[in-house]
Amino acid sequence: MTSRHLTAFFLVFSWPFVAFASQPTSSHEGYVIQVLDDYAIVDIGGEQGISVGDEAILVVSDSSPSEQVITKVIEVAETMCRISLEGITLATVQVGDLVQVRTAAQLADQSDESEIKQLRSRFGDSRVSHEPLSNLTAGEPVMVTLVAVGDLLPTEVNLHLRHKGSFKTFPMEPFGDAGWTVTVSGEEIQIPGLEYFIDGTLEDGRLIALFRGDENPWRVAVKGGSRGKGWTARVGGFFEWQDFYLTKPNHDSYWHASLDFAYRLRKDLQFEIRGGLGALEGVGGEKAAVESGASPNHRLITWLYFEPVLRFGNNLRFFPRVMLGGFLKYVEANPQYWLWKPNKGSAMFGTALHLEVGPEDQFSLRFGGQFLQSIGIEFDAQVTFVPIKGVPMGLFLAASNFPTADEWAARLHLFAGYQALEWLTIEARLGTNIRSTSHAGIGGGLSLSFGW
């Protein structure tokens, strides 16, 4: 995963007024989030009771202790408002400056006009610099950084973040003379968004807000993404050859190929839909018959499949599959005429069901099984880990009576993938297939995937 390093620091607010969030006040507080030609946008609005015409006290970060700018609210939205900057020098107004908006009722009750000056005098010239998170991608880790300088410095700093439910706390580590940083893993970055705030502990044990708080956390939208790849649609192809008896080639073996298409919906449970075309041709039979050199049974089928991918959180995925097709060739070396056997052109049915546990970009376990009519049943388990970004690898283990639903065998394969390009992924498999100690072979496969 690619970490986003937030290294561009700019002044966000003066420390005294961050502490002000915990003091009794008769006004609504917000911060400048954008400065335009003749107005500024503040991150409070109608939800906080703000109305057009309310008085706004703008505390400019680099002003002297006795200075403040009084202006008016000129436009109100649900969570933001605009304040006028007419007659104010724009060079002195910065993103992150404190804004106190006082309604008419609050102005009538306001008795202490020097409250802001008192706070500045109490806390001295202490400042915090933090660039708020924005434009996050699901599954990608992000580095959060904060710098605190001045008279009052924290001894501990914590980031509090939540996607749903309660906040999780992430201790931040110091760096340099005044910096604090923490990297949030991609597992915590989930759509549709997250909220966070930062606080710290002073040397005397007091807890102080550094950026927002639990009642007014910073909200960040998160766009879709998974496994570090931003594809929405994907086309892939797969081919494998499996041999179960090397001493008699083409007497107990099969090939399998598929062409697949996937599309990510990114909506609630139904995260992805897949479909495609598959084909399988194989020969085999009872182990004793194959070893004696008897004519093998022969299967050739093709099918279409549909598979919705259901996602439950970031650690659980469900893959139900339905396959419908037909037999292109069906030869039974020793037919039992009193049992129905498919003919060329007969319809066939198949199904598969798999469950995958664990984050896709780290370590996951997949297990389940599949059934193909007159081909057989296979139960399998697969462990995947990603030691290097873009290089998944793991182990595949299965019990199968493919390709003619006769004798069971164990299959043990190793696999490794490589994301060669942003839109191209390659995966190769190689392993062994064992029906008995004297009846075994090897197998392998190769797949290509193109995403956009």
CATH assignment at residue 187 = 2.60.40.10
Per-residue pLDDT at 107: 52
Give 378's Cβ-side CA count (13 Å radius).
Answer: 25
Cβ atoms of 153 and 161 within 8 Å: the answer is no
The candidate with the shortest Cα–Cα distance to 102, out of 50, 31, 174, is 50
Tokens matching residue 273 = 């839909």
Show the domain range for 282.
Answer: 233-451
Mark whether 323 and 438 lie in a shared domain: yes
Task: Read off the pLDDT of each residue in 357-383 and give the average, rounded to a whole number.
Answer: 93
In a domain, 336, yes or no: yes
Q: What is the pLDDT of residues 119-167, one digit of tens each?
A: 444 344 457 778 889 888 887 889 999 988 776 688 999 999 998 889 9
Domain end residue (candidates: 180, 203, 223)? 223
Do both 251 and 296 map to the same domain?
A: yes
> What mean pLDDT is reported for the chain?
82
Give the 3-state secondary structure of residue 47.
Answer: helix
pLDDT at 89 over 70: no
Predicted TM-score (pTM) of the model is 0.54
pLDDT tens-digit readout, 44-63: 888 888 888 888 888 776 55
Strand partners, 321: 352
pLDDT score of 40: 87
> Rg of the Cα trace of the chain?
32
Looking at the fold, whether 46 and 179 belong to one and the same domain comes out as: yes
Say whether both 291 and 183 belong to one domain: no
Residues 118, 215, single domain; the answer is yes
- 296/251 Cα distance (integer angstroms): 6
Do residue 200 and residue 219 come from a single domain? yes
- Residue 439 C-beta-side C-alpha neighbours within 13 Å: 18
Last residue of a domain, one of 223, 253, 283: 223
DSSP result, 197-261? EEEEE-TTS-EEEEE--TTSPEEEEEE--BTTB--SEEEEEEEEEEES-TTSTTSSEEEEEEEEE
Relative to beta strand 136-137, strand 218-223 is parallel
Q: How confident is the model at residue 23 (pLDDT cuts 50, 70, 90)?
A: very low
SS3 104: helix
- Asked if residue 240 and residue 216 are part of one domain, the reply reads no
C-alpha 382/C-alpha 390 separation (Å) is 18
Better pLDDT: 370 or 451? 370
22: closest CA among 122, 102, 107? 122
Euclidean distance between CA atoms 390 and 225, whole angstroms: 14
Domain end residue (candidates: 192, 223, 254): 223
- Cβ-contact 39, 105 below 8 angstroms: no
The residue with greater pLDDT, 270 or 32, is 32
What is the domain count for the chain?
Answer: 2
